[in-house]
């Protein structure tokens, strides 16, 4: 990852932490100076990252006012998952798994199953997906996937998705990796779609519950 990617991830993780701790909510303004002070990243770069997050439909920008956490809707959630399935399918098709470190990735999955906090889960999950992309020969989709994973993590914390349900989804990733280990890409791609469909169901269920609690 280059410096820009690291800063994008660092600021995203900071904002996710603020959402988890309920210090940041929908339509609440985001303070650039505070992010710069806490992360040690320049105001210019913070603004650049926030601009990227607004293009990714995580934040919204109001001229002469600033950036705000954008409210979620079902279409945004569904579109995110639809794009993830498409890009991850292309990713798996482009990976050469002959020298792939399956044991390390299965270790990641085991570690993910033991985490007790949503922010830890998101951090490890991002690392897991990044390890898959490092083996890809299709570099054009890597940045898009990084941004999509980040967007998905924002969505999950905003709707207060159940961590145990996320962990249950990981069982499907075991099957996915085992298929890839056995050179069965078609099976892995099928499993991939099931994983994301399960995740989408959990997320939309959490969103409906979240909306109902606000009414």
pLDDT tens digit string along 124-166?
888 887 777 776 666 667 778 878 888 999 999 999 999 999 9
DSSP assignment string, 108-159: HHHHHHH--SHHHHHHHHHHHHHHHHTTBS-GGGHHHHHHHHHHHHHHHHHT
Domain ranges of the chain: 3-69, 74-214
Domain 3-69, architecture per CATH: Orthogonal Bundle (1.10)
Q: What number is the average pLDDT over the span 43-57? A: 93
Return phi, psi of residue 23, to 5°.
-90, -10
pLDDT at 101: 84
Q: Which residues partner with 29 through β-bridges?
A: 68
**Which is more confidently placed, 210 or 197?**
197
**How far is CA 7 from its chain centroid?**
15
pLDDT tens digit string along 189-205?
999 899 999 999 999 99
Q: Which 3 state secondary structure label does DSSP give 95?
A: strand
pLDDT at 2: 60
Question: Pairing between strand 29-30 and 66-69?
Answer: antiparallel
CATH code of domain 74-214: 1.20.120.530
Report if pTM > 0.85: yes
pLDDT at 61: 94
Return phi, psi of residue 172, to 5°.
-70, -30
């Amino acid at each position: 990852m280059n410096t820009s990617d690291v800063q994008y991830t660092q600021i995203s993780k900071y904002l996710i932490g603020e959402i988890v701790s309920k210090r940041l909510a929908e339509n609440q303004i985001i303070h650039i100076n505070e992010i710069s002070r806490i992360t040690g990243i320049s105001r210019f770069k913070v603004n650049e990252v926030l601009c990227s997050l607004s293009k990714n439909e995580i934040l919204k920008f109001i001229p002469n006012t600033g950036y705000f956490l954008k409210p979620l809707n079902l279409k945004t959630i569904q579109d995110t998952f639809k794009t993830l399935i498409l890009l991850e399918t292309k990713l798996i098709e482009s990976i050469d798994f002959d020298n792939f470190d399956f044991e390390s990735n299965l270790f990641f999955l085991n570690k993910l199953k033991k985490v007790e906090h949503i922010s830890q889960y998101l951090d490890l999950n991002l690392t897991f997906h990044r390890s898959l992309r490092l083996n890809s020969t299709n570099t054009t989709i890597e940045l898009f996937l990084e941004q999509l994973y980040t967007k998905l993590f924002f969505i999950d914390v905003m709707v207060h998705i159940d961590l145990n349900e996320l962990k249950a989804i990981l069982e499907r990733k075991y099957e996915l990796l085992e298929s890839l280990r056995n050179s069965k890409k078609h099976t892995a791609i099928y499993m991939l779609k099931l994983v994301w469909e399960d995740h989408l169901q959990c997320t939309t269920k959490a969103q409906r519950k979240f909306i109902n609690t606000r009414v």
